């Protein structure tokens, strides 16, 4: 019993000095057996195979009806253009229609009288686009921009199937947690026993967005070599004094 008390005292002191990185915790379960808990992190990388674009068309007029009509006329031509680019890997994932009213400021009190300010209306159709052929990315963006119909906003890169790379990140997170736990147990002179819990798992891709597209006709967009995917896991082990 004295040996176990000494071992656990050493463990508590060691975890205090090593806990800045992993923030481990030692606690006793209802059974009375101490538990060591650590958080593991892992990262995996993969080459992107698709891009997503945000684009819009709009119509502006003094009346709501005229703005909607102007927007629909432009959208009809833009959608024909988008359909013509399907062979180059372009796909319309979804579109959204919105209306906005713009009211100019009223004259400053005491200023010469003028006609009341007239509001204007803008009708906008926003498109979420996907390109599955990255070697055609700049050609497609150039054609959209050159049309004079579509305003380009942003481009981001991703993977069509993220499961394999996320699983790799999870495995690395579990390995990192195991390495931390074993290091702490060795440093404290205790034995790492069976796993008690695995919880709070999280795996997310790190999105990569290109810079603003103010002049897409003259700027070449280069996809990143790889995308990063992060995972974390919280794991607990029973620990005991060494024989």
Banded pLDDT at 16 (limits 50, 70, 90): very low
Task: Choose from 24-38, 62-76, 92-106 the range with maximum mean pLDDT.
Answer: 62-76
CA distance 137 to 90: 9
Q: What is the pLDDT of residues 171-185, one digit of tens each?
A: 999 999 999 999 999
Asked if residue 222 and residue 144 are part of one domain, the reply reads no
Asked if residue 38 and residue 57 are part of one domain, the reply reads no
Residue 18 pLDDT more than 60? no
Helix, strand or coil for residue 20? helix
User: Region 8-12: what's the mean pLDDT?
Assistant: 38
- Return the pLDDT at 14: 39
Asked if residue 82 and residue 30 are part of one domain, the reply reads no
- 222 phi/psi in degrees, rounded to 5: -105, 120
Q: Which of 9-23, 68-82, 200-214, 225-239 shows the lowest mean pLDDT across its residues?
A: 9-23
- Return the pLDDT at 213: 56
Print the domain residue range for 129: 50-105+117-158
Counting every residue written for the chain, the total comes to 243
In a domain, 112, yes or no: no
What are the b/e assignments for 71-108, b being 16+ CB within 10 Å?
beebbeebbeebeebeeebbeeeebeeeeeeeeeeeee
- Return the pLDDT at 7: 37
Beta-bridge partners for 190? 241
- 68 phi/psi in degrees, rounded to 5: -65, -45
Which token pair is 223? 């996809």
Beta-bridge partners for 125? 57, 97
Asked if residue 55 and residue 11 are part of one domain, the reply reads no
Question: Taking the chain, what is the end-to-end CA distance rounded to the nearest angstrom?
Answer: 12
Q: What is the pLDDT of residues 39-98, one digit of tens each?
A: 999 999 999 999 999 999 999 999 999 999 999 999 999 999 999 999 999 999 999 999
Please give the DSSP secondary-structure letter assigned to residue 237. E
Token pair 């790889």: residue:
226
Token pair 């997170």: residue:
173
């Amino acid at each position: 019993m004295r040996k176990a008390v000494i071992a656990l005292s050493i463990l508590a002191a060691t975890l205090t000095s090593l806990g800045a990185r992993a923030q481990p915790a030692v606690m006793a379960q209802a059974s009375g057996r101490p538990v060591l808990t650590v958080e593991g992190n892992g990262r995996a990388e993969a080459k992107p195979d698709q891009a997503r674009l945000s684009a819009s068309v709009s119509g502006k007029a003094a009346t709501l009806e005229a703005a909607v009509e102007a927007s629909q006329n432009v959208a009809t031509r833009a959608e024909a253009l988008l359909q013509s680019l399907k062979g180059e890997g372009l796909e319309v994932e979804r579109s959204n229609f919105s209306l906005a009213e713009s009211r100019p400021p009223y004259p400053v009190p005491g200023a010469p009288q003028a006609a009341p300010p007239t509001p204007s209306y803008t009708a906008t159709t926003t498109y979420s686009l996907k390109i599955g052929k990255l070697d055609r990315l700049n050609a497609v963006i150039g054609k959209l921009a050159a049309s004079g119909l579509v305003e380009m906003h942003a481009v981001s890169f991703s993977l069509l199937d993220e499961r394999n790379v996320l699983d790799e990140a999870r495995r690395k997170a579990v390995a990192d947690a195991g390495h931390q736990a074993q290091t702490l147990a060795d440093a404290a002179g205790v034995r790492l026993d069976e796993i008690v819990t695995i919880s709070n798992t999280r795996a997310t891709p790190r999105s990569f967005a290109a810079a603003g597209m103010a002049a897409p006709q003259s700027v070449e967009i280069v996809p990143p070599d790889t995308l990063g995917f992060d995972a974390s896991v919280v794991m607990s082990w029973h620990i005991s004094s060494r024989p």
